[in-house]
Amino acid sequence: VYANPIREFKEGGRSLGVVMIFQDITEIRKLEIMRKQFVANVSHELKTPLTSIKGFVETLRGGAVEDERVRDRFLEIVEVESSRLSELIDDLLVLTDIERRTEDGIYEPIDMKKTIGDVVLMLEDSAASKEIAIQSILPETLPTLHGNPNWFKQMLINLVDNAIKYTPGGGHVTVKVSFDMKEITISVRDNGIGIERDHLGRLFERFYRVDKARSRDVGGTGLGLAIVKHIVLSFGGAISVKSEPGKGSEFTVLLPRTDVGQRVL
């Protein structure tokens, strides 16, 4: 608690008392610590690929460039690390944009059926390259949802992309949508590697990854689910996850319907 004396009452040079304002700064402090932690994480995440790029370029200049096979291998690493950097910067921009504009955001009708179809089509190639089948189970008609269509799409992309990434070859991914009078339920299920119980509570934190070493192999920035969480919040919804190691995971998004009743601002 932070106490700030703002006025002292005196009588004949003698102090009668002071007015003080007490302000609970635990929340402010917490936010400040989180912000500092975030900046530290961002710096670390940006620095890792940069250090690697610099190292390989120096080695190339130091003579490795003469050997064609070594040169190709090193250049490939430089290319992969540059892509990782740019992916990271893109994700950071998306995340800050969502956080900044959640309140005065776009409120447009979203064709969920078409968007889901587009996302499945977009990710079908990367799924097919691992022989993973994506299936979508949708009702005949779906209510119109309102919000930012790009964010809705981004949310689905991140969830389906993760389901593909963390599922071994031959597996399957299912996107299922249902709705009732009040809300729309979207679930993305896979029969992949699953997640240990201990990690479930922290998955939506920025840069949180279950297995850093493995994540490096499969790519990704550790920001995907943080982005999903903020998008879901922008729709006034909620997200939860159920998972069993070795069996698979299911992410469930609940979004309040925007076509019935009053929109709460």
The footprint of ligand ADP (CB under 6 A) covers 158, 162-163, 166, 190, 192-195, 203, 208-211, 215, 220-226, 249
Q: Which is nearer to ligand ADP, 10 or 202 (CB)?
A: 202
User: Closest CB to ligand ADP among 74 and 224?
Assistant: 224
Phi and psi of 196, rounded to 5°? Answer: -65, 145
For the bound state, the minimum distance from the C-beta of residue 28 to ligand ADP, rounded and expressed in Å, comes to: 27
Whichever of 53 and 163 has its CB closer to ligand ADP, that residue is: 163
Q: Closest distance between ligand ADP and the C-beta of residue 133, in Å?
A: 15
Q: Which is nearer to ligand ADP, 95 or 184 (CB)?
A: 95
Locate 263 and state its tokens.
Answer: 């929109």
| Helices 224-234 + 68-101 axis angle, to 10 | 20
Taking the least distance from each CB to ligand ADP, the nearer of 112 and 225 is 225
Closest separation between CB of residue 178 and ligand ADP, Å? 20
CA angle 17, 23, 27 (to 5 degrees): 165
| Unique residue bearing structure tokens 């809300």 | 183
Gap between the Cα atoms of 112 and 253, Å rounded: 13
Task: Please provide the DSSP assignment of 207-225 as one string.
Answer: T--S-HHHHHHH---S-HH
238 in Cβ contact with 254 (< 8 Å)? yes
Q: Closest distance between ligand ADP and the C-beta of residue 69, in Å?
A: 31
CB of residue 195 vs ligand ADP: minimum separation in angstroms? 5
